[in-house]
Amino acid sequence: MPTVTFEQPNGTATDVEVAEGGNIMRAAVTNGIAGIVGECGGQAMCATCHVYVNPEDAASLPELSEDEDEMLDCTTAERTENSRLGCQVSLGGALQSIRVAVPSGQV
Amino acid sequence: MSTAPATCPFTGAQATPDTVPVHAGTESAVREAPVADWVKIEDLYRDPFPIYQRLRAEAPLHWVPAVNRYMVTSYAACHEIEQDEARFSANERNSLMKRSMGHSMLRKDNPEHQVDRDSYGATLRPGTIKKHWNGIFAQNNEKYLGELLAKGPGADFVWDYAAPYTAENLRLICGFHNATQQDMQRWSQTMIDGTGNYADDPEVWAKAAASSAEVDAAIDQMLPYLAKTPDHSLLSNLASMPIPLEAIRANLKMTIGGGLNEPRDVLATTVWALLQNPEQLQAVRQDPALLPKAFEESVRWVAPIGMYPRETTQELVLEGVRLPAGARLGVVLGAANRDPLVFEDPETFNIFREKKPHLAFGGGVHFCAGTWIARAQVAQVALPAVFEKLPNLRLDPSTASIDAGWVFRGMTKMPVLWD
């Protein structure tokens, strides 16, 4: 099964298994990962599942849609070039594992 | 792709919570829902919060005969419902909202809901707001704040400003170029009254039906016009989509009901709260960047939509309480947002409190589609201008303001003075 590693601001890391096609936000919420809210249930409408993707994994990700891009301007923690919305990044296929850092704030 | 620091104009300052809501009580023994026969509608209407305190302290949910529903008042239980549409359906039977407004996306589950939701396109999204709506909101704000100023001290903040301002914004967002902001206010109120017509008053139904027919006629007239003359409105977007007319009508009526009274109420409640808290008022006067925080705290403190319905699809246990299949629930956001297990000193309006996710915009697939529109027109456009253009704004000490309601709560009267 694909795996997401969530790294918290305090350095602790948690591995979570995801079903083929599952996204990072859903994996976090289902497994009670602190710091991922996912208020809007995955519609790229709330900007509360912001993560920083490990730069080495970034190249294998789908491109930002316009919706995700504008919503990333509304994150509480600073947007960087590694910022993504967890709900817009699905695992599976060539992407079998990814490491993401959870920001210090989502609201 | 932009890599500049986050420049969202809507949400304001940073915060650093990394906690998730507390889910308590699931491991204790399963019990039946207690009955709260002492809860009366008229008491809820006047001030629901002491009632919510008592309910929440006793159990996460109760059967409330006066409301003919289970009222769910704990944050954890409300949050669990929002995130699980398989067990908690939005498509409730005998829905008053369906009768009043038609079967909108708000009462559909996925996949049907998503088709309707997607049909709203980019109209309500932050990019369109920044590029298009903010300028229009600013013009409308100047006009209606000007009318309040012209009326002079003693004018009513809700009815002489907040209501016409938010109604005019919504008129243009919807694309009703054949209606007035007064039409929007009448449509909104009468159809909302139908949605809350638990007493089955025939006069309320007659008024709701009349408004519903007026909205249908207005939509029928606008769709061909906007197909030829497109703009950024919802109806313009819908004019080119393969969406059944019945769904367009129901969704627009839901949007009229959900897009006017709520920003109006948040605007007035936020100002009312600030005017009664001199230190916080002073802080936002000195630093208008705090106004988005005041907005978020206001919707936490008094959620403009205080309760919405769900129905269980199976027998289940929610936070340790057994519910039968087909149970009618009221998800009481107004109570969840004051749950002391999540919010410290929850009854107090405090813009400096530790930021945590409130439930005022709902959650899950029905997360409010107008969230960013509300933040823009209220926190970004209206509030800064109110405190700039109305020096020494204060409540009129000779005529008391009135806050009322529970399913919908806001200011029903708010006379103000300024220098």
Nearest to A79 among B5, B361, B369 (CB): B5
Cα torsion B227, B232, B235, B240: sign: positive
How far is CA B6 from each of CA A34, A81, B23, B29, B288, rounded to the nearest angstrom? 22, 11, 31, 46, 18
Q: How confident is the model at residue B198 (pLDDT cuts 50, 70, 90)?
A: confident
Q: Which of A29-43, B135-149, B177-191, B248-262 has the lowest mean pLDDT?
A: A29-43
- Domain membership of residue B270 (yes or no) is yes
Verify whether the Cβ–Cβ distance B18 to A9 is below 8 Å: yes
For residue B366, list chain A residues with Cβ-Cβ distance below 8 A. Answer: 41
CA distance to partner chain A, nearest, from residue B356 (Å) = 6
Burial track B7-16 (b if 16+ CB lie within 10 A, e otherwise): ebbbbbeebe
Burial track B79-106 (b if 16+ CB lie within 10 A, e otherwise): bbbbbebebbbbbbeebbbbbbbbbbbb
SS3 B10: coil
How high is the pLDDT of residue B5?
38
Burial track B299-320 (b if 16+ CB lie within 10 A, e otherwise): bbbbbbbbbbbbbbbeeeebbb
Does pLDDT of B11 surpass 90?
Answer: no
CA B254 to chain centre: 12
CATH value at residue B75: 1.10.630.10
For residue A48, list chain B residues with Cβ-Cβ distance below 8 A. Answer: 357
How far is CA B68 from each of CA B62, B64, B194, rounded to the nearest angstrom? 11, 6, 17
Beta-strand relationship, B321-323 and B31-32? parallel
- C-alpha B272/C-alpha B267 separation (Å) is 9
How high is the pLDDT of residue B19?
39
Is A40 an 8 Å CB contact of chain B?
A: yes
CA distance to partner chain B, nearest, from residue A35 (Å) = 4
Q: Which residues contact B176 (CB under 8 A, 6 or more apart)?
A: B183, B184, B218, B222, B235
SS3 B2: coil
- C-alpha B151/C-alpha B148 separation (Å) is 5
How high is the pLDDT of residue A107?
87
Condensed to tens digits (0 to 9), the pLDDT of residues B48-57 reads 999 999 999 9
- C-alpha B138/C-alpha B331 separation (Å) is 35
Compute the half-sphere exposure of residue B174: CA atoms within 13 Å on the CB side of its CA. Answer: 32
The range of the structural domain enclosing residue B213 comes to 31-417
Q: Which residues contact A3 (CB under 8 A, 6 or more apart)?
A: A15, A16, A17, A18, A91, A96, A97, A98
CA distance to partner chain A, nearest, from residue B129 (Å) = 11
How high is the pLDDT of residue B146?
98
Looking at chain A, the whole-number percentage of residues with pLDDT higher than 90 is: 86
- C-alpha B4/C-alpha A80 separation (Å) is 7
Rg of chain A (C-alpha set): 12
Verify whether the Cβ–Cβ distance A40 to B364 is below 8 Å: yes
Long-range contacts of B38-43 (CB under 8 A, 24+ apart): B39/B64, B39/B66, B39/B67, B39/B71, B40/B66, B41/B66, B41/B67, B41/B198
Does pLDDT of B28 surpass 80?
Answer: no
For residue A102, list chain B residues with Cβ-Cβ distance below 8 A. Answer: 18
Report, as an integer, the average pLDDT of B23-45: 84
Q: Which of A15-19, A62-66, B148-152, B409-413 has the lowest mean pLDDT?
A: A62-66
Q: How confident is the model at residue B196 (pLDDT cuts 50, 70, 90)?
A: confident
Total number of domains in chain B: 1
Looking at chain B, the whole-number percentage of residues with pLDDT higher than 70 is: 93
Verify whether the Cβ–Cβ distance B357 to A37 is below 8 Å: yes
Verify whether the Cβ–Cβ distance B369 to A74 is below 8 Å: no
How high is the pLDDT of residue B22?
45
Does pLDDT of B46 surpass 50?
Answer: yes
Residue B415 identity: P
How high is the pLDDT of residue B101?
97
How high is the pLDDT of residue B2?
36
Verify whether the Cβ–Cβ distance B8 to A48 is below 8 Å: no
Looking at chain B, the whole-number percentage of residues with pLDDT higher than 90 is: 90
Q: How many CB pairs under 8 A join A and B?
A: 100
CA torsion, points B301, B305, B307, B309, in degrees to nearest 10? Answer: -150
How high is the pLDDT of residue B36?
98
- C-alpha B372/C-alpha B116 separation (Å) is 19
Condensed to tens digits (0 to 9), the pLDDT of residues B111-165 reads 999 999 999 989 999 999 999 999 999 999 999 999 999 999 999 999 999 999 9
Does pLDDT of B3 surpass 90?
Answer: no
CA distance to partner chain B, nearest, from residue A71 (Å) = 7
Condensed to tens digits (0 to 9), the pLDDT of residues B241-267 reads 999 999 999 999 999 999 999 999 999
- Domain membership of residue B395 (yes or no) is yes
Verify whether the Cβ–Cβ distance A80 to B18 is below 8 Å: no
Nearest to B367 among A41, A69, A77 (CB): A41
For residue B6, list chain A residues with Cβ-Cβ distance below 8 A. Answer: 72-79
For residue B363, list chain A residues with Cβ-Cβ distance below 8 A. Answer: 39-41
CA distance to partner chain A, nearest, from residue B114 (Å) = 10
How high is the pLDDT of residue B10?
58
- Closest-CA residue of B relative to A70 is B127
Condensed to tens digits (0 to 9), the pLDDT of residues B292-351 reads 999 999 999 999 999 999 999 999 999 999 999 999 999 999 999 999 999 999 999 999
Report, as an integer, the average pLDDT of B60-68: 96
In CATH terms, the fold of domain A3-101 is: Ubiquitin-like (UB roll) (3.10.20)
Report, as an integer, the average pLDDT of A7-14: 95
Q: Which residues contact A1 (CB under 8 A, 6 or more apart)?
A: A17, A18, A19, A20
- Closest-CA residue of A relative to B360 is A39
- Domain membership of residue B300 (yes or no) is yes
DSSP string, B100-165: HH-S-GGG--TTHHHHHHHTTTTTTSHHHIIIIIHHHHHHHHHHHHHHHHHH-TT-BTIIIIIHHH
Assess contact for A10 and A25: CB atoms under 8 A.
no
Does pLDDT of B279 surpass 70?
Answer: yes
For residue A45, list chain B residues with Cβ-Cβ distance below 8 A. Answer: 125, 367, 369, 371-372
